[in-house]
């Protein structure tokens, strides 16, 4: 156990910090969840790419820097420290990218990874369906093989940023007689393909965060299938592992929130309840614990290990931490909590953050489902209905 | 930066775990409860394993290992609900004496003929000391009246090692609850198939998973003498106490009325949890140290300071 950064790692931190200080927009961008804000965020992706910061862990040939996970964690820490914008392409770079890296052909890697790292193609995840939420094996949208094409029919929903994004990655039933986990295939498609209708869905804050997708005889070439027909479930589980595990939510994000919360507490200390004091300290502690845990997981992976169902513990922890930190902030703000903008004209980011934090325990597999997975796969408890 | 125990460290902990599982099972706890809480044979076994010399420098014949290894093994002592005062003497007193440059007792500690009680102002008792006895809820603890000075390093060392034992206790209680949940059936199925219990047990697993690295980090911080080490020790104590308390309460709930009996072993671990949660600084004491550092302006914040 060695808990010190090397001089190279510290130098790398300084490099990222200096770049972020130069480039992060002084004014926060408009929310990613409307056209104008989306465009601003895509612009930011291009700025990042110009600095070669698109996805630092990827090999150089795919637009990355070939850095290790510790450097990635440092990058993320500095990213959130600088208050840099949310990643418009997070589902591409954090979920699909690693999946293509693991399952894609050379041709697919060449074709998809570099434009992703460069922020030229923004990806939406299209898994959920009206009848298949937590129970993803209930997917019924079909892709029927016709020569060297698939013909897709059906409906996807809750697809983040799909209202504006360029490409989607979905799971479709390619074997019409199959049930549940079998006969599913992971397919990549251009969202502008004829036959796709996007219907934006207004989220509770009023903006368009996600969209429904309707597929009406949509033709997609078979070479857009990832890892072979019928392999969809296995590939999706790997992607979900990236989502819940290390990639989607790195500790830097929550440590930055904890620091902002500490500053908020200091400003409201005089009128704060004693319970807020504990809640704020808890936020610091939990964000630190999340960082330690992530560094230990990263060390394991660097040494050749893998994460499996432990990713579920992670997902439960960060999502509940995020919600409790924002709840505490709302309590500290008191009567100002409901204001969308404060007196000084600044956006109440705690309110936006609190609303968003309520979705954390739902997306990426609800926390109830994560607790089921933890109980059954990590603790070895019997499945529901086991007699 | 490498937040991992080495293969050697893990193998050492594994061998201690196996040794204690073989020699210090629940039947031993019951024997100690009935016949008196200390047993020279058990102590001798620990001495023969070399554990009393774990932190004694090699020049004095010991293994010369550090606080990270000691914390890992203290967790094993918690898992086994070990009654002998190995942790106090070998993992707290030894590094404390070394820090003060006092080496006179090391040979005797190593040989197992000297145990060192640790009086401190933070506790209104002394464990394994001499004098009038106080009764603990934990039948295997020997407490005597007395208190001592307020040496901060001793406090940090002992609080850290309490935290390490607490995560081991939590692991053991979770394992007992899981075993019971698999075999007890009601409504025609194992109770462990009910989500109401699954989710509670999963929450314990989350709490333990995220308490352990805090303990290891605190051990390394003390070992490396980083300036913020006391804060990390307090963090470890709070996180371990919370994880163990949650797991204790969940474990008894999973056992139903059986959990409320003397017959089921769980109570030994629960009682040690209650004892160690309050020992060497209550939750409030440690939380206060964190509050003052984090909310006051005493601790550097920011990503570069995560491991400072
Ligand atoms: C902000 C946001 C962004 C999203 N982005 C995307 C996206 O980009 N792409 C995409 O494909 N999907 C996306 N989703 C959808 C998300 O994956 C689903 O919401 C999630 O899988 C839950 O499905 P559901 O909403 O149908 O809820 P349901 O499955 O209907 O669940 C409702 C409730 O029942 C509980 N429940 C269900 N099954 C069980 C069980 N077995 N045991 C115990 N409790 C259970 C759930 O935990 C939940 O509390 C997004 C969702 C949100 C909120």
Chain A residue numbers with beta carbons less than 8 Å from the beta carbon of B199 are 368, 371-372, 375
pLDDT of residue B91 exceeding 80, the answer is yes
Compute the CA torsion angle B40, B41, B45, B50 (nearest 10 deg): 30
- What does pLDDT average to over chain A? 95
At B4-16, the pLDDT tens digits run 999 999 999 999 9
Helix and strand counts by DSSP (H, E) for chain A = 12, 8
**Residue ranges covered by each domain of chain B:** 171-306
Predicted local confidence at residue B206, as pLDDT: 98
Helices A251-268 and A274-302 pack at an angle, to 10 degrees, of 160
Predicted local confidence at residue A107, as pLDDT: 96
Cβ atoms < 10 Å from Cβ of A266:
13
Annotate B72-84 with DSSP letters as a single string. HHHHHHHHTT--S
Q: How far is C-alpha B303 from the geometric centre of its chain's CA atoms?
A: 29
What's the gap in Å between the CA of A347 and the closest CA on chain B? 23
- Which among B182, B188, B217 has CB closest to A3? B217
What phi and psi, each to the nearest 5 degrees, are found at residue B283? -55, -45
pTM above 0.90, yes or no: yes
Looking at ligand 1, which residue's alpha carbon is closest to its atom 44? A368
Looking at chain A, the domain(s) classified CATH 2.40.110.10 span 123-238
pLDDT of residue B33 exceeding 50, the answer is yes
Q: How far is the CA of A134 from the centre of ligand 1 (A)?
A: 5
pLDDT of residue A386 exceeding 70, the answer is no
Predicted local confidence at residue A209, as pLDDT: 85
**Is the beta carbon of A203 within 6 A of some atom in ligand 1?**
no
Q: How far is the CA of A157 from the centre of ligand 1 (A)?
A: 11
Compute the CA torsion angle A78, A83, A89, A90 (nearest 10 deg): 60
Q: Tokens at residue A317, please? A: 């922890």
Predicted local confidence at residue A10, as pLDDT: 97
Looking at chain A, the domain(s) classified CATH 1.10.540.10 span 7-88
**Is the beta carbon of A372 within 6 A of some atom in ligand 1?**
yes
Q: Sign of the C-alpha dihedral, residues A150, A151, A153, A156?
A: positive
CA distance linking residue B19 with residue A106, whole number of Å: 51
Is the domain defined by A249-378 classed in CATH 3.20.20.70? no
- Count of alpha carbons within 13 Å of B307, Cβ hemisphere only? 24
At B267-297, the pLDDT tens digits run 999 999 999 999 999 999 999 999 999 998 7
Q: Determine whether the interchain pair A278/B302 forms a contact, defined as Cβ–Cβ distance below 8 Å.
A: no
Residues A91, A99: contact at Cβ < 8 Å?
no
What is the mean pLDDT of the segment spanning B180-191? 97
pLDDT of residue A29 exceeding 60, the answer is yes
Looking at ligand 1, which residue's alpha carbon is closest to its atom 37? A134
* Residue A139: closest CA among A162, A168, A172: A172
Predicted local confidence at residue A307, as pLDDT: 86
Q: Determine whether the interchain pair B195/A266 forms a contact, defined as Cβ–Cβ distance below 8 Å.
A: no
Q: Could you tell me the pLDDT band of residue A164, with boundaries at 50, 70 and 90? A: very high
Looking at chain A, the domain(s) classified CATH 1.20.140.10 span 249-378
- Count of alpha carbons within 13 Å of A46, Cβ hemisphere only? 8
Annotate A174-214 with DSSP letters as a single string. --TT--TTTTEEEEEEETTSTTEEEEEEE-TTSSEEEEEEE
What's the gap in Å between the CA of A226 and the closest CA on chain B? 33
At A312-366, the pLDDT tens digits run 999 999 999 999 999 999 999 999 999 999 999 999 999 999 999 999 999 999 9
CA distance linking residue A117 with residue B295, whole number of Å: 39
Q: Could you tell me the pLDDT band of residue A387, with boundaries at 50, 70 and 90? A: very low
Q: How far is C-alpha B14 from the geometric centre of its chain's CA atoms?
A: 16
CATH homologous superfamily for the domain A7-88: Acyl-CoA dehydrogenase/oxidase, N-terminal domain (1.10.540.10)
Q: Tokens at residue A274, please? A: 């004693």
What phi and psi, each to the nearest 5 degrees, are found at residue A215? -115, 120
Predicted local confidence at residue A93, as pLDDT: 93
Our CA angle for B254, B258, B262, nearest 5°, is 125
CA distance linking residue B43 with residue A54, whole number of Å: 58
Residue ranges of E strands in B183-226: 185-186, 189-190
Q: Tokens at residue B115, please? A: 């145990």
Residues B235, B281: contact at Cβ < 8 Å?
no
Predicted local confidence at residue A385, as pLDDT: 59
What is the mean pLDDT of the segment spanning B173-188? 97
pLDDT of residue A310 exceeding 70, the answer is yes
For residues B270-288, b (16+ Cβ closer than 10 Å) or e, as one string?
Answer: bbbbebbbebbbebebbbb
What's the gap in Å between the CA of A327 and the closest CA on chain B? 18
CA distance linking residue A351 with residue A30, whole number of Å: 15
> Which residue of B lies nearest to A374 if distances are taken between CA atoms?
B202
Q: Does A270 touch chain B (CB under 8 A)?
A: no
CA distance linking residue A231 with residue A227, whole number of Å: 6
Cβ atoms < 10 Å from Cβ of A119:
25
CA distance linking residue B191 with residue B177, whole number of Å: 11
Predicted local confidence at residue A208, as pLDDT: 87
* Residue B92: closest CA among B42, B142, B159: B159
Helices A69-81 and A251-268 pack at an angle, to 10 degrees, of 30
Q: Tokens at residue A203, please? A: 């989220």
* Residue A152: closest CA among A214, A217, A249: A217
For B171-306, CATH number out of 1.20.140.10, 3.40.1800.10, 3.40.190.10, 3.40.50.300 equals 1.20.140.10
Looking at ligand 1, which residue's alpha carbon is closest to its atom 35? A368
- What does pLDDT average to over chain B? 97
The topology under which CATH files domain A123-238 is Butyryl-CoA Dehydrogenase, subunit A; domain 2 (2.40.110)
**Is the beta carbon of A47 within 6 A of some atom in ligand 1?**
no
**Is the beta carbon of A160 within 6 A of some atom in ligand 1?**
yes
What is the mean pLDDT of the segment spanning A137-157? 97
At A57-95, the pLDDT tens digits run 999 999 999 999 999 999 999 999 999 999 999 999 999
pLDDT of residue A369 exceeding 90, the answer is yes
Q: Sign of the C-alpha dihedral, residues A148, A154, A160, A164?
A: positive
Predicted local confidence at residue B233, as pLDDT: 98
A38 Cβ contact list (under 8 Å, min separation 6):
A32, A88, A161, A164
Q: Determine whether the interchain pair B239/A285 forms a contact, defined as Cβ–Cβ distance below 8 Å.
A: yes
């Amino acid at each position: 156990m060695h808990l010190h950064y090397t001089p190279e790692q510290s130098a790398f931190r300084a490099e990222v910090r200096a770049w972020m200080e130069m480039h992060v927009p002084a004014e926060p961008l408009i929310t990613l969840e409307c056209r104008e804000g989306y465009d601003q965020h895509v612009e930011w992706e291009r700025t990042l790419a110009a600095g070669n910061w698109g996805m630092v862990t990827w090999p150089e040939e795919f637009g990355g820097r070939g850095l290790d996970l510790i450097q990635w964690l440092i990058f993320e820490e500095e990213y959130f420290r600088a208050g840099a914008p949310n990643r418009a392409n997070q589902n591409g770079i954090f979920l699909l990218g690693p999946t293509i890296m693991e399952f894609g052909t050379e041709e697919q890697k060449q074709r998809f990874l570099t434009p992703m790292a460069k922020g030229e193609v923004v990806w939406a995840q299209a898994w959920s369906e009206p009848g298949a939420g937590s129970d993803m094996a209930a997917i019924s949208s079909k892709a029927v093989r016709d020569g060297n094409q698939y013909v897709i029919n059906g409906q996807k929903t809750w697809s983040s940023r799909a209202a504006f994004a360029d490409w989607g990655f979905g799971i479709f039933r390619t074997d019409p007689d199959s049930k549940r986990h079998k006969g599913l295939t992971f397919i990549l498609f251009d969202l502008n393909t004829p036959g796709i209708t996007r219907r934006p869905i207004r989220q509770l804050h009023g903006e368009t965060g996600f969209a429904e997708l309707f597929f009406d005889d949509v033709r997609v070439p078979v070479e857009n299938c990832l890892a072979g027909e019928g392999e969809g479930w296995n590939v999706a589980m790997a992607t979900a592992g990236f989502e819940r595990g290390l990639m989607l939510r790195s500790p830097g994000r929550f440590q930055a929130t904890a620091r902002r919360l500490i500053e908020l507490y200091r400003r409201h200390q005089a009128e704060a309840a004693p319970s807020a004091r504990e809640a704020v300290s808890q936020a610091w502690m939990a964000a630190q614990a999340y960082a330690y845990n992530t560094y230990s997981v990263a060390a394991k992976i660097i040494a050749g290990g893998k994460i499996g169902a432990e990713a579920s513990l992670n997902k439960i922890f960060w999502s509940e931490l995020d919600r409790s930190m924002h709840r505490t902030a709302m309590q500290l703000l008191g009567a100002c909590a409901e204001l969308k903008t404060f007196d000084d004209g600044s956006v109440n980011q705690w309110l936006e953050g609190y609303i968003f934090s309520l979705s954390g325990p739902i997306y990426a597999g609800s926390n109830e489902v994560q607790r089921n997975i933890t109980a059954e796969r990590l603790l070895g408890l019997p499945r529901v209905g086991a007699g | 930066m490498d937040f991992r125990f080495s293969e050697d460290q893990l193998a050492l902990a594994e061998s201690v775990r196996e040794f204690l599982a073989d020699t210090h099972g629940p039947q031993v706890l019951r024997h100690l409860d009935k016949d008196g809480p200390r047993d020279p044979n058990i102590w001798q076994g620990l001495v023969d394993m070399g554990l009393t010399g774990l932190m004694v420098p090699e020049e004095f014949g010991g293994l010369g290992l550090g606080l990270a290894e000691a914390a890992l093994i203290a967790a094993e002592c918690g898992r086994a609900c070990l009654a002998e005062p190995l942790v106090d003497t070998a993992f707290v007193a030894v590094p404390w004496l070394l820090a003060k440059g006092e080496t006179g007792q090391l040979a005797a500690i190593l040989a197992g003929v000297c145990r060192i009680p640790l009086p401190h102002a933070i506790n209104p008792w002394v464990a394994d000391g001499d004098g009038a006895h106080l009764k603990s809820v934990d039948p295997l603890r020997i407490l005597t009246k007395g208190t001592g000075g307020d040496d901060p390093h001793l406090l940090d060392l002992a609080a850290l090692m309490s935290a390490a034992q607490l995560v081991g206790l939590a692991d053991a209680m979770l394992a007992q609850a899981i075993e019971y949940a698999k075999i007890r059936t009601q409504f025609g199925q194992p109770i462990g198939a009910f989500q109401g219990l699954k989710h509670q047990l999963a929450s314990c697993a989350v709490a333990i998973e995220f308490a352990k690295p805090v303990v290891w980090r605190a051990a390394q911080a003390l070992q490396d003498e980083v300036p913020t080490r006391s804060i990390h020790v307090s963090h470890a104590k709070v996180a371990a106490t919370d994880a163990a308390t949650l797991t204790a309460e969940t474990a008894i709930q999973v056992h139903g009325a059986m959990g409320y009996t003397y017959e089921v072993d769980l109570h030994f671990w629960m009682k040690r949890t209650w004892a160690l949660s309050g020992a060497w600084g209550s939750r409030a004491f440690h939380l206060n140290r964190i509050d003052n550092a984090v909310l006051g302006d005493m601790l550097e914040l920011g990503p570069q300071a995560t491991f400072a």
